[in-house]
Structure 1
Amino acid sequence: MALDHLRLETDSLTWRCDPNQFEFETTRDLPPLEGTIGQERAMTAIDFGLGIKDSGFNVFILGEPGTGRSSTIKKILNARAKEREIPDDWCYVHDFNDGTRPDFIRLPAGQGSEFKKDVDRLVERLAEELPRVFESKEYEEQKSKIAAEHQEKHKALFQQLEHEAEEKGFTLQRTVSGLVLVPVRDGHPLSQEEYENLSDEEKTDLDERGSKLQDHLNDVLRDVRRIEEDAREATAAMEKEVVSYAMKHLFVDLEQKYAEDERILEHFTNCKKDILNRIEELRPNKGPQIALPGIKMPQQEASFDRYLVNLFVDNHGLEGAPVVYEANPTYFNLFGRIEHVIQMGNATTDYKMIKPGALHRANGGYLILDCREVLINLFSYEALKRCIRNKEVKIEDMTEQFRLLATVSLKPRPVPLDCKIIMIGTPLFYYLLFQYDTDFRKYFKVKADFDRMMKNTWENAQQYALFIGAKCRDEALLHFDPTAVARTVEHSARLTEDQARFSSCFLEIANLIREAAFYAERDGGDRVAAEHVELAIEARTYRCNKVEEKIQEFIEDGTLLVDTEGAVVGQINGLTVYQLGDYSFGKPVRLTVRTYLGKGGMVNIEREVKLSGPIHDKGVMIFSGFFGERFAQDKPLALAASICFEQSYAGVEGDSASCAELYALLSSLAQVPIKQGIAVTGSVNQRGQVQPIGGVNEKIEGFYLVCKAKGLTGEQGVIIPEANRRNLMLNKMVREAVEQGRFHIWSVTSVDEGIEILTGMAAGERDAEGRWAENTINQKVDQRLLKMAETLRKFGKGEEKNEK
C-alpha cells in the first residue's frame, strides 16, 4: 500500500523507562529527597517572594491539587523559619482610663510568659496583704490618733460655745434636728409659756442675744464639718500612705527587673495609682452574704483581676519564625475574637478574654491560607486586605454593624502586622481575582505557578525514584525495586499523555505507591516489583470502569450499532471520550452523513436539537471554508448535507470528530465506501490539515476492545493526527496486537492521507490546468458537486419559464 509509511511501528506506541538506569537494589538504598521535583519556575518565584520585604509582595501559589503546592511551601517555610529570629510576645493589659481600649505590651520571646507569672504572683500577694493593712494594729493606732486629734478640736469648739452660751443665759441641747440654743432662767431652761410671760423688752433682749449665739453656733458647726473633713482627708492620706508603703515592696523587685522597659514601668505606675484610688473597695467586707440556691453571686471581696496580664501571643516554644496554616479561615480564626461570659443573663467581658487569631500567631513569620476557604468565609477576604493595607491586625466584632442598638464593647489597640501571607489556590481563582479585584494585584504580587507536568529527563526520573523512596520511608511501606520504579515513571508519562513529560500530580502517584505496596505485601513479597504496580493500575481501573463495561456490553450485543468490518458509503466510526470523575475511557460511535441537492449547506443535527457544544459547532462550520477553497473556485456549492451522531442521546462537545465528519462527507459525495474497521479521531482546519486532539490513548484502547470483542481481522485500526504521536502511551494489550499485525495505528497530517487509508482510493491532486486526477476521491467529489450545481441551475431556469 502506498501509505504504509503512515502506519506506526510498535516502538512509537509508548515510551519505556529503562530500569537499568537506576543504580540501586531497592529505594531503601536511596538518600532522602531534597527539594521539589520539576517546579523550578515556581521555586524561583517562591524564593523571590519570601525574600523581598515589601508588604505587597505576598505569594499566591497556583496549580492543580496534588502537584505538591501545600507540602512544598510548608517544607520551604519550615526551613526558612528556623533561620529567622523568634518574634516578640504580645500581652494585653487593662485600660485604666475608660476600660474599653486595652493596650498591648510587646516583649522579647519568652519574656511574655515570665512577665505573666511575675504579675500573677504580684496580684496574689496584693490580694493577700493589702486587706490585712486595714486589720493591722499600726493602722488602727494611726486611725485612732487622727480621730483623737480631731475629736479634741471638736470638743474644744463646743466647750467654748457652751461657756459663751452660759454667760449669755443660754444652754445647748441636742435634739433630733441637731443642736438648739435654749434660754435659761434661774438655773433651768425657759419653757414656751414662761417665754410668753416675759415683757417685750426682755423678749427683745433675749432674741438679740440668741441671734448672736446662733450665728456663732453656725460658725462652730461649719468649723466642726471642716474638722471632720480634715479628719477624713487625713485618714485617707494616712490610708494611702499605709497602702502605698505596704505595696511598695511588692512592686519594687519587678520594677527593678523590668527597669529597661518603659511600657511595663508605666503599667506598674498605673496599677499603683488605681489601687490607691480603690482603697474603699479594698477594705475587708464583713457584711452578711445571702446565698441563693443555683445562683452564683458575685464575690464581695475586692478584686485584683484588673492588674493581671493577658498573655495574648506566647512564642517561647518556637525555634524560629512561626509558620501557621489556618485550615478554617473564618473571620474570628483569622483576626481574633473577644469572648464573653454569661452570668445571670448578662454577657460580660474584659481584656483577659481577648483571644488571638492566625494573623497574630503568624506575626513575624508566615501565614498559609487556602484561597477557596478564605473566599467562602464571610468578611475574611476583605478584612485580610485591610490588614495588609494598614499593616495592623484590628480585633473587631463583625456583627456590630448589624445590630439595631449600639452596645459598649472592647476596642483593643491594633497589633502591628509583619507577616508574609501565602495563598494557595487553583489557576481559576487566581485569574478571577486578578481580573475582578484591583486590590488583589497590589497585595499578591508574586505568582508561583506549579506546573502539572515536567520534562522527561534522566534527572527527573532519578528524582521520581527519590520521591518513591521518601514516600515508602515516611509511611513504612515496602520499598520499590528498579522495575517497579520504571513502571511507575511510565504511568506518570501516561497521566500526562505525553512521552516527553512526566506528571507533577504527586497525589495520584502517591496513591499508586500505596496500592502497589499493599499488593506486594499481600503476596508476601519483601519489595514492590513491576507486576505489583501493574496490578495496582489494573485494580484501580476495575474499580472505576463499570460504566465502560456496560457500554461495551451494549456494543457487543448490538444495542449500540458499531461495525468493525465491511465498507459503507457516508458512514464512519468516530471516537469519543467519556469523563467520569477521576476515570476516563474511549468508545466508538457511529457517525453518518447524507448529502443531497440544495442550498442549505451543512445541517448539524446535534446542533439543531441543541445537543452540540460551541466547539463542536465550530468544527462543523469549518467545512464550509474547506469546501469553498477546494471545490467552489469555478462553481457555486449546491450542496446540502445532514451530519449525525447515531444513537447519541447526550451532549456532544469538542472538535475531535471533525475529521471523521469530513471523511464521511467526502465519502457520501464521492459515493466511495469507507472501511468500517478503521476509526478516526482528529480535528481539521480550513486548509485540510489534521490537528491534534486529547484523549488519544483512551480512544485507541476503547476501539481496540470493541474490535477484539467482535473479532480482530488484521485490517482494523485507528487513524490519529501525526501531532498526537508523542502522546501515545498505549497499554500492553494494544501494543502486542499491533506488533502481531492484528491491529494498526496510522498517523496523518492531512485529510487526503486519511481518506486514502479509509477508502483505499487516492485522494488526488490538481494538474497544471486545475483538473483533478482521474479516478480519485477529490475528482469524484468535484464531479458530484458540479453535477449538483448544473442540476440546480436547470431547476432555476425551469422556475423562471413557469413564472413567465
Structure 2
Amino acid sequence: MGSEKQFEVGLDRLKNVCGEDLELDFCHSSKDVAPFESFIGQERAIRAMDFGLGMEATGYNIFVAGAQGTGKSTYTESAVHKVAEKKEVPKDWCYLHNFNDKDNPLAVSMPAGKGRIFKKDVENLVLELRIAIPKVFEGNEYQQQRDNIIQSVREKLMDLYHEMETEAKEKGFTLQQMQGRVLFLPVKDGRPIQQNEYDTFSMEERKQIEEKMHVLQSKFNENMRVGQNMERQANMQILDLERKMAHSVAGSLVDKVREKYNGSTTLQEYFDGFLKDVVENHNVFRMAGHPEGMEQNTGSGSEEGFPAGIFQGNVPFDENEIRFVKYRVNLFVNNEKTNGAPVVLVSSPNYYNLFGKVEYRSQMMSMTTDFTMIKAGAIQKANGGYLILQAKDLLMDPLVWDSLKKALKYREAVVENMGEQYRLVPTNALKAQPIPLDVKVILIGTPMFYAIFSSDEDFQKLFKVKVDFDVEMPRNKENVCQYVSYVSALCEEGNLKHFDKKALAKIVEYGSRLASDQEKLSTRFNEIKDIVYEADAFAKINGSEMVSGEHVRRAIDERKFRLNKLEEKIQESIIEERIHIQTTGREVGQINGLSVIGLSGYSFGIPTRITARTYMGRGGVIHIERETGMSGSIHSKGVYTLVGYLGGTFAKKKTLGLTAQITFEQNYQGVEGDSASSAQLYAILSSLSGVPIKQHIAVTGSVDQMGRIQPIGGAVEKIEGFYDICKAKGLTGDQGVLLPEENLKDLMLKDEVLDAVAQGKFHIYTVPTVKEGIELLTDMPAGDEDEKGEYPEASLFGKVVKRLKESEQNEKKNKTNEQEKAGDEENND
C-alpha cells in the first residue's frame, strides 16, 4: 500500500503559471507590442480559405466550420474583402420590356456604371419623344397632308351627294334630312307633296312613286357604302401618314441613342422593338402633349347628311403614367459604386431577401405587376463576387436551401415568387429571363451544422472546401507574443487602457484555462476580448493608469458571478444538507463522484453521492439509472466496462455470483458519460469488502476492463466544484480530489485552490489503476495474486473474494435446503 503522499500532485503541476520573465520577457506592457493585424492560431483554416477563394472551378464554394467565439465570421469577412477588392467590378444588369413577349422581360448586362447611364438615356429619350411627337403633329406639313386626304375624300363624297341629289330631282324627288336620316320626298310643281295630298293619289300613282323611291333609296345605300369605304381608306391613309410622321421624328431620336450602344446585339434588337412600338402607339405620346385632353374633329360632313365624326381621334386621353411603363428601364443590379467584386453579407436570408421577388401593386380592386417591379435579392447583388451566409439561418426557411442549391447547380439566378412552382393552378405571372450566375458562396457555422449539411449529397458537390477553425493553439513563445499583440490591438481599437505585464500574464493563463490545457491557448478570441474590455472597465473605475493583474482577476470573477446562480443554488442545497454530500468521515459502499453541468456557456462541477449495495444472487451489476432510462449510452458503456474488470479480477475460475446495485443518489436529471465509472467501481469494491471509503476525497475518471484509469473532461471544474463545497463546509486539511494522471496537463486551477494546496488544506491525487485508487481511498492494500491466483486474506481484494465465496456457499446451502424440503414434502405426499 502506498501513502497519500505517494500519489499527491505537486503544486507546480496544478497550473502553468505564466512566467513574466520567461514568456513575457519581450515587453513591459501591451503598449510595447505592435497591434496584430492578421489572424492568430488558425494556419490550417487560413490555408484552406486561401485555396477556396483562389479556386475558380465550379463547386468550390466554402463552408467555414468552427466553434462559437473562434472569430470565424470576422476572419471570413476580412479575408473575402481582401480578395474581392483586387478583382474586377462585375457588370450591371437591367430588365427591359420584351416587345415581342410582354410576360418575359429581357435581362441585359453592361459594364459597371453604364446601367444608370443607360436608364437615364432611355428616360431622356422618352421625354424627348413626348415633346417631339405631339409637335410634329401640330406642324404644317402634317396638317397639310392630312387636310389634303380629308379634302379629297370630302370632294368625292360631295360628288356622290350631288349625283344622288340630281338623280332624285330627275325622278321627281327632293332630298331632305330629318332626325339624322336622309329622306326622299316626292315633288309636284316644285314643292314637296304633303301627306293629305298624297292620300288623294290613286293606287297606281302611289305604286309608281314608291318604286322610284325604292330605287333611289337602294342607290343611296350603295353610295353610303362607297362613302364609308372611302372614309376607311382615308383613315388608313391618315394612320399611315401619322406612322410616317411619328417614325420620322422617333427614328432619329431612337437612332441617336441606339448608336451609343451599338456593341450589344440584344440592345439593338430592343431598340428595334422600342421604335416599332412607339410608332404603333404614337397616339400615347401625341396625347402626352395635350394635358387637357385631345378632342379633335376634322370631319364635317354632317351638314351634307353623312355621319359626323368619321375623322375624330379614337384614343381617349389618359394621364396615367402606366402607359409609359414599358419604355422604362429596371436597373436591377447597379455596381456603379462597387469597388472590386461585391461582398454581400445577409443577416436574414429568407427566400425573398436571398433570391429577389416580383412585387405587385393594387389597382382597381386587382393586383398588377410589370417588369419594373422585379427586385433583386442578395444572390443577384453578389453575382460576380461573394455571398456570405450563416449556415443555421438557411434552415429557418424551408425553400431557401433547395433554391440555393438549384441556383449554384445550374449557375443562373431566377426571380420567381415563393411557391410559384408548387401552385396547383398556374397563374399568369412574369417569367423574368434568368441571369447567368457566377458567385462564390461562403457558409459559416459550427461543426454540428457542417455535419447536418454533409448528409445532403448535393452539399459535397457544391461545397468542396472546408475551412476548419481550431479552438486551441500551442502555448509557445510565438503565440504568447501574438496574444499580447491581440490585446494591444484591442486597446488601440477600443481606446482602452494598456495592460501591464501581470495583467498580460493573467490573460495568457486565462487562455490556457479556456483551452483546458497547460500547453495550449484558446482561440476563442471573443471570450478573451470580453475579459479585456471588462478588465479595462474596472481599471477605469479605480482610476488606474494601466490594467493590472488584479483587474483581470476581478473581471474573470465578476463574469463568473453573473453566470453562476444555478451553481450557487446547488451549493446552497448541499451546505444546508438538502442534498447529502459528506466531506468528512468514511462510509462503506459510498463515494463522492464528480460531474459537470453546462448551462448557457458556463460550466461548473458538483460532487455527486454514489452508493453501491451488494447482496446474494446472480443479477450482476444493476445500474438503477440505466434500468429507469435515466442514463445515456456512454454511461451505460462505462458500467459494462467496470463489470468486465470485476469479472476479469474475481471470476477467472468460477462464476461471479453477486448482485450489485449502484445509483447516483438524489439525481433526477439523468446521467451521461463514463467519467464516474471508476468511482462506481470503488463503491462496489467497498460494499463487497466491507471496507469504508474516505468521504473527504472525491473521485473522477473512467476505467477500462484492465483496471487502468483513463482521462476525462472538465477536470478543472470538477476540482474547483468539490473545493468550493469543502470550503463552505469547512476545510479539514485532508480533503482533495483523485483524478487520472493524464488530466494533470489540463489543470489551470484558480489561485484560491492553489493557495489551499500550498497551505496543505486541499490535495490533488492521481493514480494509474483501480488498485492504487482503492488503496488510497481505504488505506488498505488491495492485494496481489499469488501463484495459485489467491489474494491475501487481509487485503481488500482478499475480503472481496471471501465475501463472494461466502455468498456462493450460502447460495448452495439455500439450494440444498430447498431440495431437502421439496423431498420431504414429496415423501409426505
Decide whether the 8 Å contact of 1:285 with 1:300 is kept in 2: no
**How far apart, CA to CA, are the structure 2 residues paired with 1:298 and 1:143?**
24
Alpha-carbon distance in structure 1 between the residues aligned to 2:706 and 2:579: 34
- Establish whether residue 101 from structure 1 lines up as the match of residue 104 from structure 2: yes
1:11-410 equivalence runs, <5 A: 11-20=12-21, 21-22=23-24, 23-160=26-163, 162=165, 211=215, 220-281=223-284, 282-283=286-287, 284=290, 286-287=292-293, 299=319, 303-400=323-420, 407-410=427-430
Distance 1:689 1:505, change over 3 A: same
Contact 1:564 1:676 in 2 (8 A): yes
CA contact (8 A) 1:285 1:301 kept: no
Counterpart for residue 714 of structure 1 = 733
Report which stretch shifted further, 338-347 or 386-395.
Answer: 338-347
Which SS does the other structure have where 2:418 is aligned? coil
2:309 aligned partner: none
State the AA in 2 paired with 1:311.
Answer: L
1:507 to 513, 518, 526: 526
The question of whether the paired residues in 2 share the 8 Å contact of 1:570 and 1:594 is answered with yes
Matched, 1:477 2:478: no
Matched-pair contact (CA < 8 Å) for 1:637–1:789? no
Query: For residues 711 and 320 of structure 2, what CA distance do their matches in structure 1 show?
Result: 85
In the TM superposition, what is the alpha-carbon distance from 1:79 to its structure 2 partner? 0.5
Matches of 2:682 and 2:228, distance apart in 1: 119
- Structure 1 window deviating more from structure 2 (128-137 vs 499-508): it is 128-137
Residue number in structure 2 paired with 1:425: 445
Q: How far off its partner does 1:575 sit? A: 1.6
The residue correspondences of 1:764-779 to structure 2 (distance < 5 A) are 764-773=783-792, 775-779=794-798
| Deviation sequence 1:207-254 (CA, Å, 0-9, x none) | 59985x777656644443333223212211222222222334433432
Shift of 1:206: 10
1:740 to 759, 765, 769: 759
- Higher mean alpha-carbon deviation, 621-630 vs 163-172, is at 163-172
Aligned equivalents of 1:520 and 1:301: distance in 2?
65
Q: CA deviation at 1:788?
A: 1.8
| SS in structure 1 of the partner of residue 395 of structure 2 | helix
Q: Give the corresponding residue for 2:621.
A: 602
Contact 1:468 1:513 in 2 (8 A): yes
> 1:796 maps to what in 2?
815
Deviation, structure 1 residue 342: 2.3
Structure 1: give runs of 5+ residues left out of the alignment: 290-296
**Counterpart position of 1:645:** 664
Task: Tell me if structure 2 keeps the 8 A contact 1:127–1:304.
Answer: no
Q: Using the alignment, how far apart are the partners of 1:222 and 1:462 within structure 2?
A: 104
Judging changes above 3 Å, is the alpha-carbon distance between structure 1 residues 793 and 226 closer, same or farther for their aligned structure 2 residues? same
Distance in structure 1 (CA, Å) of the matches to 2:81 and 2:163: 88
CA–CA separation in structure 2 for the residues paired with 1:680 and 1:725:
14
Question: Aligned-pair distance for 1:429?
Answer: 2.2
Deviations 1:240-277 (A, max 9, x none): 22222233443343222222223223222222211211
Q: Which amino acid aligns with 1:39?
A: Q
Is residue 2:22 matched to residue 1:2?
A: no
Shift of 1:707: 2.7
* C-alpha distance 379-650 of structure 1, shift in aligned 2 (>3 A): closer
Is 1:528 the counterpart of 2:547? The answer is yes
CA shift for structure 1 position 726: 1.4
Q: 2:482, 2:273 → 1: CA distance?
A: 63
Q: Is the 8 A contact 1:181 1:210 kept in 2?
A: no
CA offset at residue 201 of structure 1?
A: 12
Which structure 2 segments of 5+ residues have no match? 296-316, 824-829
Equivalent in the alignment of 1:572: 591
Q: Which residue pairs with 2:308 in the alignment?
A: none
29 and 344 in structure 1: CA distance in 2 versus 1, 3 angstrom threshold: farther
State the distance in 1 between where 2:523 and 2:616 align: 54
Instruction: Tell me how far apart the structure 2 counterparts of residues 37 and 17 of structure 1 sit (CA, whole Å).
Output: 19
Q: Offset at 1:113?
A: 0.8
Say whether the 8 Å CA contact 1:573–1:588 is kept in structure 2: yes
Alpha-carbon distance change, 735 to 548 in structure 1, aligned in 2, over 3 angstroms: same
Does the 8 A contact of 1:62 with 1:450 survive in 2?
yes
Structure 2 residue aligned with 1:694, among 703, 713, 725? 713
Cα contact 2:734–2:762 (8 A) shared by 1: yes
SS of the residue 2:614 aligns to: strand
Deviation per CA, 1:688-745, whole angstroms, max 9, x where unpaired?
A: 1111111111111122223333443433221101121111111112222223333221
Q: Are 2:635 and 1:620 equivalent residues in the alignment?
A: no
Deviation at 1:803, TM superposition (A): 1.9
Q: CA deviation at 1:112?
A: 0.5
One-letter amino acid matched to 1:9: G
Query: Hey, what's the Cα distance between the residues in 2 that align with 1:210 and 1:803?
Result: 140
Q: What's the RMSD between the two structures over aligned residues?
A: 3.0
> Which deviations, in whole Å up to 9, do the C-alpha atoms of 1:539-576 show, x marking residues without a partner?
11222233333333443444443333333322222222
Which residue identity is paired with 1:622?
Answer: T
Distance 2:320 2:639 in 1: 88
- Partner of 2:85: helix, strand, or coil? helix
Output the TM-score relative to the length of structure 2: 0.89
AA matched with 2:18:
C
Q: 1 CA distance for matches of 2:269 and 2:31? A: 61
Instruction: Provide closer, same or farther for how the CA distance between residues 196 and 273 of structure 1 changes in structure 2, counting only shifts above 3 A.
Output: farther
CA 1:339 to 1:199, structure 2 compared with 1: closer, same or farther past 3 Å? closer
How many Å separate the matches in 2 of 1:737 and 1:719? 16
Distance 1:752 1:301, change over 3 A: closer
Q: Post-superposition shift, 1:602?
A: 1.9
The 1:302–1:659 alpha-carbon spacing in structure 2 relative to 1, beyond 3 Å, is closer
Is 2:470 the partner of 1:451? Answer: yes
Q: Deviations over 1:264-321 (max 9, x none)?
A: 23222222211211133333364599xxxxxxx9736894332111111111001111
CA contact (8 A) 2:594 2:718 kept: yes
Per the TM alignment, residue 73 of structure 1 is displaced from its structure 2 partner at its CA by 0.9
1:19 is matched by which residue type in structure 2?
E
Match of 2:516 in 1: 497
- CA separation of 1:90/1:575 partners in 2, compared to 1, >3 Å: closer, same or farther? same
> Which of the numbers 687, 690, 713 marks the counterpart of 1:671?
690
- The equivalent of 1:680 in structure 2 is 699
Local SS of the residue matching 1:384: helix
State how far apart, in whole Å, the 2-side matches of 1:198 and 1:71 are.
Answer: 114
Whether the 8 Å CA contact 2:630–2:669 is kept in 1: the answer is: yes
SS in 1 for 2:119: helix
Q: Give me the identity figure in percent.
A: 44
Q: CA deviation at 1:641?
A: 2.1
Q: Which amino acid aligns with 2:13?
A: S
| Map of 1:293 onto structure 2 | none
Partners of 1:526 and 1:579 in 2: CA distance: 37
SS at match of 1:83: coil
Matched position secondary structure for 1:376 = coil
Secondary structure in 2 matching 1:718: strand
> Which of 802, 806, 814 matches 1:783?
802
1:623–1:662 Cα contact (<8 Å) kept: yes
Q: Number of paired residues?
A: 795
Report the Cα distance in structure 2 between the residues aligned to 1:301 and 1:598, rounded to whole angstroms.
95
Cα displacement string for residues 331-351 of structure 1 (whole angstroms, at most 9, x for unaligned residues): 111111122222443333222
Indicate the SS of the match to 2:818: helix
| Contact 1:25–1:481 under 8 Å retained in 2 | yes
Q: 1:795 to 1:96 in 2, by over 3 A?
A: same
